[in-house]
């Protein structure tokens, strides 16, 4: 491991290698970064602000950099961009929970590292960048879309050395995850000092996002910051674009050296409603798996109070795994999955839909890949008949599929799907955020596939129309709940602005003033419904607890 000690990401102080100081002629930080990567391609190139050198938790670094395609940093005092980046980006990677090992492209110059041979793959594209913080964030932003695993890693530094904002101290025992398996209260680092100027923020957006987002950022500054950053906008227009550029990391061997046995036992949970023949096909696919499930937990729903189970085959056929069958008249996939999670006792959980098909090696191949990647959650490539794969690289995923994912039980068995999302939309994203805030990264795998049959009947969303349908709020109240729950203030404002702009061409009102008045009214309806749903949910929880 090579360690570059610097002052304020501007001046190189010294380079340490295997405990000794290494003589280097170059003093420019970015130049030394590339030079050392070339001279020591098998090492991890790390960086540290001089002030924090004594705080490094180097004993844990081999666990953090457990495979070569990892880039990690931690902001102790500084971050390149402020939360204003949220105006144009609402993905989970932006609002970082600094209390846990969290997937993000937002890199800090305070402390961090990347494998040298991986770094070299970016030299041709980013070799001319002279700002160290801009360089690190560019590598992570583009790299994440091309298979680089990027993290905010509190384990890089000793707990005693952390200089966090008054929001709260990081947990001393956090390296990979919250050891209790519970999601922690996020600390998004509002106390960190942003080192980027407006010009750098605008230039980064121009470089790494669709061009329209540059104009969206400008409008948000005018609207919400009462600022008119014309100079930053003009400067950004001359910035070279890297958006959707390809970086080939396929030549880097991806083999995790994480210690400990991840286990091979797996429970499958399936909520089902009115799809008997489809469900039996799923069970037949599970029956021939090369790695058999330990248990299949079925939650069968039928709203008819006089109905009985429609699945006698669960008892009349022979199954090579235990089947736990729960029949209920209460409908809803959230409550069904929650019932199933209470019965989980295997080391892994396969969240499955009741209308999918898959090959006989799905479970074995998935667990093999989870071990190879050193990952705790795999989002499997789920496609309909004839549908093409859109993303062809293994990468960190901004969503979560509650019918196509395998998750380590230490995270998911103690988390629950929020039933406020029942009969609406957003329960997948919400559960995914719970996993992230528990320290669990979600990895998409394009080469392991599930066929989604998209059954024409059945499904919990078809039974009851949500009570807000007649009011026609925008966005959906459940989406509003999700946004208010997980977005920063800037992300929420950016989401609102973008939604207003996108919907304009899809509706009949062409007078912009009338349209704006209408959308504000619909937004208020959504907020009112969101508050009502959350209040009802809280009251139900209170009654249940009593």
Question: What string of H, E and C letters represents the secondary structure of 152-178?
Answer: ECHHHECHHHCCCCCCCCCCCCCCCCC
Which long-range CB contacts under 8 A does 520-523 form with residues at least 24 apart?
522/472, 522/473, 522/474, 523/473, 523/474, 523/475, 523/496
Give CA–CA dist 220/441, Å, rounded.
30
pTM given for the model: 0.92
Mean pLDDT in residue range 66-81? 97
pLDDT the model gives residue 225: 96
Q: Give me the pLDDT at residue 116, please.
A: 98
Tokens of 26: 């170059």
Distance CA 293, CA 409 (A): 14
- CA quadruple 236, 238, 239, 241: dihedral sign: positive
Total residue length of the chain: 546
Q: For residue 406, is pLDDT > 70?
A: yes
User: Any idea which residue has 């380590």 for tokens?
Assistant: 408
Q: Which residues pair with 7 in a beta bridge?
A: 11
Q: Tell me the C-alpha distance between 528 and 473, whole Å.
A: 9
Q: Look at residue 424 and tell me whether its pLDDT is greater than 90.
A: no
pLDDT the model gives residue 486? 96
| Residue 411 burial (C-beta neighbours within 10 Å; 0-12, 13-18, 19+) | buried
The answer, yes or no, to whether residue 326 has pLDDT greater than 60, is yes
Q: Which backbone phi and psi does 443 adopt, to 5 degrees?
A: -110, 130
The pLDDT tens digits for 282-316 are 999 999 999 999 999 999 999 999 999 999 999 99
Q: Quick: pLDDT tens for 454-504.
A: 887 665 555 567 888 888 899 999 999 999 999 999 999 999 999 999 998
Tokens 């009502």 found at: 532
**Whether the predicted pLDDT of 35 surpasses 80:** yes
Instruction: Compute the average pLDDT of residues 118-123.
Output: 98
Directed axis angle between helix 211-224 and helix 489-503, to 10°?
Answer: 120
Provide the 10 A C-beta neighbour count for residue 517.
Answer: 12
Asked if the model's pLDDT at residue 546 lies above 70, the reply is no
Instruction: Decide which of 3.90.550.10, 3.40.190.10, 3.60.15.10, 3.40.50.300 is the CATH code for 266-462.
Output: 3.90.550.10
Mean pLDDT of 407-431: 91
Least confident of 172-176, 290-294, 428-432: 172-176
Residue 46 CA to residue 15 CA, distance in Å, equals 10
Residue 414 near residue 182, CB atoms below 8 Å: yes
Q: Which residues, listed in sequence order, are joined to residue 25 by a DSSP beta bridge?
A: none
Summarised one tens digit per residue, pLDDT across range 203-216 is: 999 999 999 999 99
Among 110-124, 149-163, 414-428, the least confident range:
149-163
- Please give the DSSP secondary-structure letter assigned to residue 182: P
Checking if the pLDDT of 523 tops 50, the result is yes
pLDDT band at 536 (very low <50, low <70, confident <90, very high): confident
Phi/psi zone of residue 458: left (φ > 0), alpha (ψ -120 to 50 degrees), beta? Answer: left
Compute the average pLDDT of residues 359-387: 96
Q: What is the pLDDT of the chain when averaged over all its residues?
A: 91
Least confident of 83-97, 351-365, 480-494, 496-510: 496-510
Report the pLDDT value the prediction gives residue 239, as an integer from 0 to 100: 96
Residue 170, pLDDT > 50, answer no
Pick the closest to residue 546 from 439, 68, 538, 443 (CA basis): 538
Question: CA dihedral defined by 386, 391, 394, 398, rounded to 10 degrees?
Answer: -110
């Amino acid at each position: 491991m090579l360690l570059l000690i610097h002052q304020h990401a501007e001046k190189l102080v010294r380079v340490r290698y295997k405990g000794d100081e290494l003589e280097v002629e170059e003093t420019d930080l970015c130049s030394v970064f590339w030079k050392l990567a070339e001279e020591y391609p098998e090492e991890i190139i790390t960086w540290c602000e001089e002030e924090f050198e004594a705080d490094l938790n180097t004993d844990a670094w081999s666990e953090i950099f457990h495979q070569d395609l990892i880039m990690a940093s931690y902001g102790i005092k500084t971050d390149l961009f402020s939360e204003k980046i949220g105006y144009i980006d609402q993905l989970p990677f932006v609002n970082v929970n600094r209390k846990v090992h969290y997937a993000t492209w937002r890199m800090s110059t305070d402390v961090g590292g990347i494998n040298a041979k991986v770094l070299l793959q970016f030299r041709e594209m980013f070799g001319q960048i002279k700002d160290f913080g801009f360089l690190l964030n560019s590598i992570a932003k583009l790299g994440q879309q091309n298979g680089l695993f990027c993290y905010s890693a509190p384990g890089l530094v000793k707990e005693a050395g952390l200089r966090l904002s008054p929001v709260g101290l990081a947990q001393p025992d956090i390296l990979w995850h919250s050891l209790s398996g519970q999601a922690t209260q996020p600390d998004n680092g509002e106390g960190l000092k942003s080192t980027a100027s407006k010009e750098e923020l605008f230039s980064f957006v121009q470089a790494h996002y669709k061009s329209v987002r540059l104009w969206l950022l400008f409008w948000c500054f005018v609207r919400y910051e009462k600022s008119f950053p014309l100079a930053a906008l003009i400067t950004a227009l001359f910035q070279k674009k890297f958006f959707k550029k390809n970086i080939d990391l396929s030549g880097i061997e991806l083999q995790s050296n994480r210690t400990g046995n991840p286990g091979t036992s797996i429970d499958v949970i399936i909520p089902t409603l009115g799809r008997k023949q489809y469900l039996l096909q799923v069970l037949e696919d599970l029956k021939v798996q090369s790695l058999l499930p330990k248990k299949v937990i079925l939650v069968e729903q039928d709203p008819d109070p006089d109905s009985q189970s429609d699945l006698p085959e669960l008892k009349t056929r022979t199954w090579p795994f235990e089947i736990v069958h729960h029949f209920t008249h209460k409908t809803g996939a959230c409550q069904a999955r929650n019932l199933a999670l209470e019965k989980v006792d295997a080391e892994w959980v396969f969240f499955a839909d009741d209308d999918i098909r898959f090959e006989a090696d799905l479970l074995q191949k998935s667990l093999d890949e989870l071990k190879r990647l050193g990952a705790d959650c795999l989002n499997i490539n789920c496609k309909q008949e004839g549908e093409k794969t859109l993303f062809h690289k293994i990468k960190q995923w901004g969503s979560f599929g509650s019918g196509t994912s395998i998750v380590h039980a230490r995270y998911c068995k103690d988390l629950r799907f929020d039933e406020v999302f029942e009969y609406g939309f957003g329960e997948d994203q919400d559960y995914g955020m719970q996993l992230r805030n528990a320290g669990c990264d979600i990895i998409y795998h394009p080469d392991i596939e599930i066929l989604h049959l998209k059954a024409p009947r059945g499904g919990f969303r078809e039974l009851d129309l949500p009570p807000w349908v007649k009011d026609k709020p925008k966005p959906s109240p459940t989406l509003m709940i999700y946004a208010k729950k997980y977005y920063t203030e800037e992300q929420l404002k950016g989401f609102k602005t973008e939604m207003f702009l996108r919907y304009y061409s899809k509706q009949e009102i062409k007078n912009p003033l009338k349209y704006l008045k209408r959308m504000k009214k619909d937004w208020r309806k959504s907020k009112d419904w969101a508050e009502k749903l959350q209040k009802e949910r809280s009251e139900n929880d209170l009654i249940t607890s009593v």
